[in-house]
Every structure is written in C-alpha cells, then in structure tokens.
Amino acid sequence: MAILVQKYGGSSVADADCIQRVAERIAETAQAGHQVVGVVSAMGDTTDDLIAMARQVSADPSDRELDLLLSTGEVISCTLMAMALRTLGRSAVALTGPQAGIRTDAAFRQAQIVEINPERMLRELERGTIPIVAGFQGMTDDMDVTTLGRGGSDTTAVAVAVALKAEYCEINTDVEGVYTADPRLVPDACKLDVIRSDEMLELARHGARVMHPRAVELGDVYGMPVVVRSSFSTEPGTLISRGDDMALEARQRVRGIAHDVDVGRVTIAAVPDRPGIAYAVFDALAQAAINVDIIVQDVDREKESNLSFTVGRDDLEKAVAVVRPVAAEVGAQDVHASADLAKISIVGSGLSLGPGYAARMFGALAEADVNITSITTSEIRITCLIPESDVPRAARSLHAAFDLDEESLTGVAS
C-alpha cells in the first residue's frame, strides 16, 4: 500500500471544529486505500502567542528554552488530532518529533534535520495505526528539543515523506495552491497547476511563505513530489516538480512575484577603502550566527565607501550591536539601521533565457512611483529593495506588467 504524508498548517487546525474536519479528511484518505501519516502545525497563532509569553518573562529568552516551549504548540495539535481520529473509530497515535525519530543538529531556532529513523512510524503503519507527527521539531544527540525555523512543519512533512519512501507529500493549507503572487496582496493572482522546484525555492526564500524553503530543497534533492493544496476543498492544488517534463515555452516567462517585509537594513557610512574591512564586518556577523542577505558596497571619489546589508528584523538590533565596535575600529563614520524597507522579487526560469526582464521590472516600478533602494539578482530572480509601504502597489503593478493574470496565463503556465 502506498504511503502518503499529509501536512496540515496552523489555520487548518485552528480550533476543535477544524481539527475534527481535518481528522475526517485523514480518515477518508486512509479509507481510500492509503497508509497515511499526518504532520500538524500548532493551532492558529499558538507559536506567536508562546513567543509573546516568553518575552513577558524575559527580554532575551534563551534559544534552548524557547525551542522547548515552542515545540509544545505542535504537541497540543498532534495529540488532539489523534484523539479526534480515535473518536472516528480509527486507530491513531500522536508522536512528538523526537518520538517519530527526527534527529537534528543543535542550531536552536533554525535546526536542520540530520537523520530520521522511521522505525516507529513504520511499525505503527504496519499495525494499521495512523501516526500523527508534531511538525517543526526534532531532538539533538544531547536530547535537547529543537525547532526548524518559522514555517518548519512543511520541512518535517517532506523529510518524513522521504524517510518513509512515500508516494508523495501533501501540504494542506489555507489557499488552493501556489499562486503567481500572494493572493492576499494581489487579487488577480492565479493558481498554478505546476511549478518547477527551482522557481518555488526562489519564491519561498524571498517571502512566499506558502512553502518553507528547506522543504522545497528536500523535495528537489530527493525527488519527492510535493503537492500544495487547500485543507478546505478537494481541488487538486499545485504540483512542485523538478521540471524535466515541463514544456520549454512554459519557461520563457516570469512565474511569480514574492514579497518579504521581514527586512532590516544596516548601513555603515564612510568606511575607509582598504582590504580586509568587509571581512572584519561579515566575520563578526557570522560569529554571531546572523544571516545576511543583500550586501551593497560602493566607493566614492574620496575613497570612502558605504557598506550596507540586510538581515531579518529580529536580528536587526543584534546586528547593529555586533557591527558598531567593528566600524569604530576600522574608522567608519557611523552605523545606522532601518526597519521600513521590504523586498519585492520577480522569479522565473525564463529570466535566464531572455534579456529585458530587468528593464521591464524597473519600468513597472517607476510607473507605480516606487523608489528602488538596492537591486540584487540570481539566474532566475531579480529583487528590489523598496519602501515597505509601497509593497502592495509594487506587487500589483509587477503582476500586471508580466502578464500573470488569468487570461494571459491560459495555455502557457499550466
């Protein structure tokens, strides 16, 4: 019998009614002849609430304790889901990440799965029991509980699917699939029937939170088909595929727009222009485990440069504190931070094939009166840093400029 992993996100299990409805869906899937494994997120806003509670007792809660605390959100939903399934007459067992055999490294808050021992899950499946696994968590060799980064239950689901050699992995969420832009921001956004994993990865890394980036990566590396679909309908959703079988014509375009407001920028002004300074700054940030995204440096005629980089907003204060002493040491004039910028990106494998995409993007933003602060590119993406307040206008104008509405897409994207 084929194994199918079904993940249900926070809004799909937000209250007791939702949990009962999802339990019915899981039971129906099992009834239809699948060996199902459920993976669940914390109910509704539980994770945010737990973080807020930690901040009420400590300005700087320790990562280890925070991870143990946050892991309880998913433990609540997996236990309730297993109880609801039993009420429906199905045999089910709730498993925490560690009980499901998920081993991670010790990078609290952003742990990576190192290995999954699937024996317990397989044993339960053989007995006809449905394992319901708590997403977003695992355990280190020292038996410390870790979490996988915000949105990480998707990664649990794909990793479990790989470990169990499942037929495919379903990500059930509160939209019908992957759209050409966040449908909450762009009313004309269009659902895609299929998307290449390299395009999905770029969208996910640049703010399309419908999939956790690491989950897309795992699906791609291990060739695990992933389907994103709605928990509330029976529509087929979006298949994320390696893309070998997709028509070339479908590559010759922009596939989607992503936006990300989790952007903090640090600027070091008037840095002397000599070797070793970038190393000093970014080595200090690396030692402090701060992830840096867009880096821009320019040198003026006086042989001084401005060096700026972006980090997640949660890391902004820490990044400034790390950089300030380094800046003073190298003789820079000033360090300042801003938290009012956002990233807007166009993504599509077509970008590597044709010229003119950048000009079209900048033209659309100019027409919408959006000022661009910095620009970065990859082979299949162009990202602009813009004021956060302009994001909705920018997203809609880019969506229109690249013909991503329903009519233009028909016959090309899917």
Residues that bind Mg ion (CB under 5 A): 9, 151
Residue with tokens 């033209």: 363
Q: Which of residues 134-153 bind ligand ADP (CB under 6 A)?
A: 151
Q: Report which DSSP code applies to 348.
A: -
CB-nearest residue to ligand ADP: 9
Among 152, 177, 256, 348, binds ligand ASP (CB under 6 A): 152
| Pick 150 or 214: Cβ nearer ligand ASP | 150
Q: Count other Cβ atoms within 10 Å, centred on residue 289.
A: 13
Closest distance between ligand ASP and the C-beta of residue 48, in Å?
Answer: 7
Q: Is the dihedral of CA 202, 208, 209, 210 positive or negative?
A: negative
406, 409, 410, 412: CA torsion to nearest 10? -170
Taking CB under 6 A as the rule, does residue 9 contact ligand ADP? yes
Quick one: which of 279, 288, 196, 287 has its CA closest to 244? 196
Q: Which of residues 185-214 bind ligand ADP (CB under 6 A)?
A: 203, 208-210
Closest distance between ligand ADP and the C-beta of residue 236, in Å?
Answer: 15
Q: Which does 175 bind (CB under 5 to 8 A by kind): ligand ASP, Mg ion, ligand ADP, none?
A: ligand ADP
Specify the stretch interacting with ligand ASP by CB under 6 A; choose among 39-47, 173-181, 263-271, 339-347. 39-47
Question: How many angstroms separate the CA atoms of 348 and 285, rounded?
Answer: 31
Closest distance between ligand ADP and the C-beta of residue 119, in Å?
Answer: 28
Closest distance between ligand ADP and the C-beta of residue 154, in Å?
Answer: 7
Per DSSP, the residues of 28-93 read HHHHTT-EEEEEEPPSTTHHHHHHHHHHHH-SS--HHHHHHHHHHHHHHHHHHHHHHHHHTT--EE
Q: Which does 123 bind (CB under 5 to 8 A by kind): ligand ASP, Mg ion, ligand ADP, none?
A: none
Site string for ligand ADP, 212-251 (x = CB under 6 A): ----------------------------------------
Q: Is the dihedral of CA 158, 160, 165, 168 positive or negative?
A: negative
Counting every residue written for the chain, the total comes to 414
Give the start-end residues of each E strand in 174-249: 194-196, 226-230, 238-241
Residues 6 or more apart whose CB falls under 8 angstroms from that of 216 comprise 197, 200, 201, 204, 226, 240
Question: How many angstroms separate the CA atoms of 161 and 100, rounded?
Answer: 12
Among 10, 101, 219, 350, binds ligand ADP (CB under 6 A): 10
Among 38, 101, 118, 151, binds ligand ASP (CB under 6 A): 151
Q: Which does 178 bind (CB under 5 to 8 A by kind): ligand ADP, ligand ASP, Mg ion, none?
A: ligand ADP
Q: Which of residues 17-76 bind ligand ADP (CB under 6 A)?
A: 41
Q: Which does 3 bind (CB under 5 to 8 A by kind): ligand ASP, Mg ion, ligand ADP, none?
A: none
Helix (H) or strand (E) holding 25: helix 16-31
Residue with tokens 């040491």: 329
Interface residue list for ligand ADP (CB under 6 A): 9-12, 41, 151, 173-175, 178-179, 181-184, 203, 208-210, 256
Interface residue list for ligand ASP (CB under 6 A): 9-10, 41-42, 47, 73, 135-136, 150-153
